[in-house]
Structure formats: structure tokens, C-alpha cells
Amino acid sequence: MRLVSRVVFVLGVVFLATDVASAQMGMGGSRMGSGAKGPGMMGGGMGRGGQPGQQAAPQITQQKAGELAQQYADQYLKGYSVERVLPFTGTRGMAYSVEMKGPAGQMRTLHVDPWGDVVPFETSQRRPG
């Protein structure tokens, strides 16, 4: 009986130490951080759903997607404003395509994922403005 108790105790300590080491090395847990991620991305920084050890994604609203896109434009696309916010179903939930209109009538498209990350959508063709 004592041998079994000791083995269970040792296994528990090893499991706990491995779990702590994995978390410190960034191998588990939810995504941390928020805010601007450079000209390529910015957003809310919540845990990604569907990945081991991570939370399900909160679904942002269409209004919140427009606000996040405008914040991105204020920082990286001076003079652009939200023209339309179009919802679509992504692989992990509701996402949004946001059409931005520039000061000279030019159009740009931003994508906002279910976690609030904003990514510019570049195409080889430009829409006539």
C-alpha cells in the first residue's frame, strides 16, 4: 500500500512539473497579449478555439468589427473610414470583411476574425474608386 501511494505521489509531481514547464515555454494555455501587432495585424488577443488547451473564441459583433477596423485605419491608413461591414462564416466562427474608403475614393479591404484580429486583405486587382 505504501509503495502504491509513493508511486502515485511521484507520478503526480512529475506530471505537475511537466505541465508547469510546458506553460512557461509557451506550449500550452491560451494566447496572451492584445492590441497592435504591427501593420499586418491588430486585435483583441483572446484564446483560439479548437486548439488543444485553449478557450473557445468569443464571437465579436458586426459593430465591434467595424470599430476595430476603424482603429486599425486610424493607425495605419490615415484618412480611411469604414464603408461597409460584411459578415461571413470562417472556419472558426463568424468573421467580417470590412470595406474601407480612402480620402480620394480609393477602396481597401480589411478582414476581422472571430477574435478581433484585423488583417489587411491585399489583392492584385484594385476596385475602381
What residue spans define the domains of the chain? 57-129
Grid cell in block for residue 117 = 484580429
The pLDDT, as a whole number, for residue 8 is 57
Quick check: pTM over 0.75?
Answer: no
The pLDDT, as a whole number, for residue 128 is 58
What class, spelled out in words, does domain 57-129 have in CATH?
alpha beta
The pLDDT, as a whole number, for residue 82 is 97
Q: Give alpha helix (H) positions in the chain.
A: 2-24, 62-76
Enumerate residues 6+ apart whose C-beta is below 8 A from 76. Answer: 39, 120
Amino acid letter at 49? G
Enumerate residues 6+ apart whose C-beta is below 8 A from 2. Answer: none
User: Cα–Cα distance between 120 and 20 in angstroms, integer?
Assistant: 36
Q: Per-residue confidence of the chain (129 residues) as pLDDT tens digits?
A: 777 666 556 555 555 555 544 444 444 433 333 343 445 545 444 445 555 555 565 689 999 999 999 999 999 999 999 999 999 997 889 999 999 999 999 999 999 999 999 999 876 555 555
The pLDDT, as a whole number, for residue 97 is 96
